[in-house]
Structure 1
Amino acid sequence: MLTETDLKHLRRCVELAETALEKGDEPFGSVLVSAEGEVLFEDHNHVAGGDYTQHPEFAIARWAASHMAPDDRRKAIVYTSGEHCPMCSAAHGMVGLGKIIYASSSKQLATWLRDFGVEQGPVYNLAIEEVIRDAQVEGPVPELAEQVRELHRRLHVAKG
């Protein structure tokens, strides 16, 4: 069961996703929160320049590996507007980050993109649990997922 604090962080992720969209990027945003509730790192997508590894979840994993002790990583929570892709899931698992809470699922995203007429990307759409052993995951959150869907709709309608 998600708390009001969880929802606050997820709403921030959706705001970051909208910031990415406003900057001409794909709408994804993520926040790393310590066990004590401190926001440690936040970011949005930066793939518009052509480097498709510039996902916020991947940036969080790299930041955590450099700035947090392994035990602190395990206790942290990553909040994100969209469920991790396989690359980001692997990075998350490899650095030993804790729980992931997402607003919208990768399955939802695949459905939305298909509905918008967007071609499938080069990487399989896998759930986090198919990539990370013993993953702690919560999501999607219906009311926030609908907001994320609208951001993706705006992106793909703009691309026309």
Structure 2
Amino acid sequence: MYSLIVRDYSIADIEAFSALSIRRGSTIASLAKASSDNLRIVTGAWLLFLPKAADEAAVRASAERFLAGPGAWMNETPEGLVAAALESGLLEKTFEGFANGLAPRPNVTAARLTDELETAAAILAARRARTREALQAKNRAVNSGEPPVDDEADRRFMTEALAEARAAAQAGEVPVGAVLVADGRIIACAGNRTLRNGDPTAHAEMLVLREGARVMKNHRLAETTLYVTLEPCPMCAGAIVQARPGRIVFGATDERMGAVGGALSLFELPGVNHRPWVRRGVMAQEAKTLLADFFAARRGAKENEREGEGEVR
């Protein structure tokens, strides 16, 4: 019983060969088992590189070059490739050597196949890079321990900090407020008290860190979140490093004195052994407006005084 030998080889066959090339380590037998047409597609790709007539040495050399180049993705021997081409009927044994019976369509050439493989390889590399980056990003997120963001909770606690800032403003203090949260509840809250306490260190953050340590009976405030309406200054950022809260959430950025990225990044300095997770800009506009209104009112009341110009606490 005779089987029809399909000698035609088209652009579609080149594309099919390129698609097969992602199956690295495949043998021709395994590819043919998956689809009988794969035998013609693979051997036809090789025969694009082989002259119409060639002796045994030339055929073997061509098979070796093909398996070292376009067919390098296969786990195959030159003898296996030649045997598969003979089996497909596209390669025939003659008295002088071998005859290449492939009938490629116009523009279906070895160069076209090489170009198609290079394009496929570039697409595959880009796809693998994206997959690798996605996995690495996932691993970084899983292994980093970064806490999930609960925007509703952050806004709720920042609202409490803003209330402390407004109370400070009413007492004549620079309107900065802070709250310290543990297990979803506020354990300390305060606004600036530098004037009322006669204490230059009585910033809102410092006050809640002290109160939090008292409440928790521990100078380490791990597993807590500090909310503050204005980016912490260097003094407060240093205290944060010592107290070690797990997370900092602040509202307005302070480009003049901020130590969490505004003017400098204290947590990134060499030797700093605690770097809390930081979320910036929560209800920032409300915090900025509160500060701007406070300083505008103070300048209006004391036109001849320049003390407190800008966001200086």
**TM-score, normalised with respect to structure 2:** 0.42
- What amino acid maps onto 2:222 in structure 1? R
In the alignment, structure 1 segments of 5+ residues that lack a partner are: 111-123
In the alignment, the residues of structure 2 paired with residue 126 and residue 53 of structure 1 have an alpha-carbon distance, to the nearest angstrom, of 16
Bigger Rg, which one: 2
Shift of 1:2: 4.1
Equivalent of 1:38 in 160, 163, 185? 185
Shift of 1:69: 5.5
Per the alignment, residue 154 of structure 1 pairs with 293
Q: Secondary structure at the match of 1:74?
A: coil
- What amino acid maps onto 2:188 in structure 1? F
Per the alignment, residue 228 of structure 2 pairs with 80
Moved more, 37-46 or 129-138: 129-138
Per the alignment, residue 204 of structure 2 pairs with 56
* Cα displacement string for residues 53-76 of structure 1 (whole angstroms, at most 9, x for unaligned residues): 111101122223333265972101
Equivalent of 2:216 in 63, 68, 81? 68
In the alignment, the residues of structure 2 paired with residue 4 and residue 130 of structure 1 have an alpha-carbon distance, to the nearest angstrom, of 27
Higher RCO (Cα < 8 Å, 6 or more apart): 1
Whether the aligned pair in 1 keeps the contact of 2:241 and 2:275 (CA below 8 Å) is no
Equivalent of 2:265 in 130, 138, 142? 130
Per the alignment, residue 245 of structure 2 pairs with 97
Per the alignment, residue 121 of structure 1 pairs with none
- What amino acid maps onto 2:284 in structure 1? A
Whether the aligned pair in 2 keeps the contact of 1:30 and 1:56 (CA below 8 Å) is yes
Counterpart check, 1:24 vs 2:157: no
The 1:9/1:83 distance shift into structure 2, 3 A limit, reads same
Whether the aligned pair in 2 keeps the contact of 1:32 and 1:42 (CA below 8 Å) is yes
In the alignment, the residues of structure 1 paired with residue 289 and residue 280 of structure 2 have an alpha-carbon distance, to the nearest angstrom, of 18
In the alignment, the residues of structure 1 paired with residue 217 and residue 248 of structure 2 have an alpha-carbon distance, to the nearest angstrom, of 18
* Cα displacement string for residues 97-151 of structure 1 (whole angstroms, at most 9, x for unaligned residues): 22001111222xx4xxxxxxxxxxxxx542268223423100112xx21111121
Q: Secondary structure at the match of 1:134?
A: coil
Shift of 1:4: 0.6
Aligned residues: 142
In the alignment, the residues of structure 2 paired with residue 158 and residue 71 of structure 1 have an alpha-carbon distance, to the nearest angstrom, of 38
Q: Secondary structure at the match of 2:221?
A: helix
**TM-score, normalised with respect to structure 1:** 0.78
Percent of residue pairs bearing the same amino acid type: 24
Whether the aligned pair in 2 keeps the contact of 1:26 and 1:48 (CA below 8 Å) is no
Counterpart check, 1:140 vs 2:287: no
In the alignment, the residues of structure 1 paired with residue 258 and residue 219 of structure 2 have an alpha-carbon distance, to the nearest angstrom, of 30
In the alignment, the residues of structure 1 paired with residue 259 and residue 165 of structure 2 have an alpha-carbon distance, to the nearest angstrom, of 21
Q: Secondary structure at the match of 2:173?
A: coil
